[in-house]
Amino acid sequence: MYNFEYQNPVKIIFGKGEISKVGANIPKGSKILLTYGGGSIFKNGVYDQVKASIKDFEVIEFGGIEPNPHYETLMKAVDMVKKENITFLLSVGGGSVIDGTKFIAAAACFKHGDPWNILAKRAPVDDAILHGAVLTLPATGSEMNSGAVVTRIETKEKLSFMSPKVMPLFSILDPEVIFSLPEKQVANGIVDAFVHVIEQYLTFPVDSPIQDRFAESILKTLIEEGPKVLANRTDYNAAANFMWSATMALNGLIGAGVPQDWATHMIGHELTAYHGIDHARTLAIVLPGVMHIKREQKKDKILQLGERVWGVLDGTDDERINETILKTTKFFESVGIPTKLPDYSVTSETIDTICTRFKNRGYKVGEKANIGPNEIRLILEDRL
Ligand code: NZQ
Ligand code: ZN
């Protein structure tokens, strides 16, 4: 196992009715900016629950944060934070609202020029405004991690940053928010969480049985509970297990002390940047290609995934790897997510564009940093 440091300060408040505790967890006297997305919180009662709990605070609202939150929109909130002397950010939404709010928190305190550099140049985040979250969509893990992903529409760039300064002070996870999720967003959440685990697991062995078995337990729980949530949105226990799986998939625990890949995410972000494809759907497209093209490098872990998660025990190594890739792909398709580029009307022209972008950036991705433009071409051509 590799050396590691692990610290996760996010207080998780989990369960039915717990949104009522949001006010009690915000420092007294705070001036709050409540951030939200396109309005789902007004339809499912989450907004009313939040407002009732924070009635004693001075609150200003900032809505309209888009899925794949736009830098252009977030900078308007940054202006508002400065103008109104906001001291606390309360995000109520899915990964996009929470990520966007993390960026607002950092950008409002940024003193080294253009805040875009937080994303473009990974400029250090010295400080950030305190932030708490009410999660409405289990998927990204943003509620309990230090990462955020922001899209700049003007330049079609989707970039990320990480800083412990933007980790939420608390996150409230009430599984009942899932009851109002459309099927598409449940499916996206299952696949995003699944691939988060894979990015931290499907690399090469470093003798880390705790991390491996935690990872496998999350995958198996998603495989078992995900379809239950799809079949019956008001199955509270299934919703709770799905929600906790998604948080555990990307709160740093299973990734501590082990190699990490993230190539699927990095390539997937480009498909969202150029074609607006939902984040999770890009992962369902790219991952089978990564598994296929990197089958030798990932051999031991693909075999382990096949054996322990999918029950693939028979055949030669090559046959078992093929079967494991097939079972993974079929799982994505079984929750309603197509896995090939033509399913999203993406042609080989986009492959050229993405490869050129990676060439210009000049870095390679993957657990061995050996996935560059040539490998990305092979991965994406496998998905045509
Ligand atoms: O905007 P509203 O009206 O709230 O509607 C949203 C949105 O349209 C809707 N929704 C959310 N909760 C709902 C609901 N509808 C009904 N009932 C509810 N309870 O769902 C739609 C999608 O929301 P969004 O927040 O975009 O989805 P998700 O949570 O999947 O977040 C995706 C974003 O997170 C980033 C992605 O790249 C993408 O930008 N990621 C963030 C990560 C992180 N911070 O660690 C890691 C991930 O890999 C990912 O990259
Ligand atoms: Zn993801």
Q: Which residue has the tokens 């309603």?
A: 336
Residues facing 274 on adjacent strands: none
Distance CA(77)–CA(58), nearest Å, equals 17
Instruction: Give tens-digit pLDDT for 113-160.
Output: 999 999 999 999 999 999 999 999 999 999 999 999 999 999 999 999
Closest CA to 287 of 190, 383, 145, 186: 383
Which residue out of 35, 36, 40 has the highest number of ligand 1 atoms within 8 Å of its CB and is therefore the one to mutate? Answer: 40
Q: Is the CB of 197 under 6 A from ligand 1?
A: no
Separation of alpha carbons 7 and 92, rounded Å: 24
Q: What are the structural domain ranges in the chain? A: 11-176, 183-381
Q: Using CA atoms, how far apart are residues 53 and 24, in angstroms rounded to an integer?
A: 8
Cβ(93) – ligand 1 distance below 6 Å: yes
| Pocket mutation for ligand 1, best pick of 99, 102, 181, 194 (most atoms within 8 Å of C-beta) | 99
Give the C-alpha separation, 250 to 139, whole Å: 9
Q: Which atom of ligand 1 is nearest to the CA of 196?
A: 48
The CB of 96 under 6 Å from ligand 1? The reply is yes
pLDDT digits (tens, 9 = 90+) for 6-64: 999 999 999 999 999 999 999 999 999 999 999 999 999 999 999 999 999 999 999 99
Q: Which atom of ligand 1 is nearest to the CA of 151?
A: 39
- Ligand 1 midpoint to CA 93 (Å): 7
Architecture of the domain whose range is 183-381 = Up-down Bundle (1.20)
Name the closest ligand to CA 193: 2
What is the whole-number distance in angstroms between the Cα of residue 282 and the centre of ligand 2?
Answer: 9
Distance CA 66, CA 183 (A): 19
Query: Which strand (E) or helix (H) includes residue 172?
Result: strand 170-173
DSSP code for 159:
E
Q: Which residues, 6+ apart, have CB-to-CB distance to 157 below 8 Å?
A: 119, 120, 151, 273
Q: What is the pLDDT along the chain (384 residues), one digit of tens a residue?
A: 999 999 999 999 999 999 999 999 999 999 999 999 999 999 999 999 999 999 999 999 999 999 999 999 999 999 999 999 999 999 999 999 999 999 999 999 999 999 999 999 999 999 999 999 999 999 999 999 999 999 999 999 999 999 999 999 999 999 999 999 999 999 999 999 999 999 999 999 999 999 999 999 999 999 999 999 999 999 999 999 999 999 999 999 999 999 999 999 999 999 999 999 999 999 999 999 999 999 999 999 999 999 999 999 999 999 999 999 999 999 999 999 999 999 999 999 999 999 999 999 999 999 999 999 999 999 999 999
CATH of domain 11-176: 3.40.50.1970
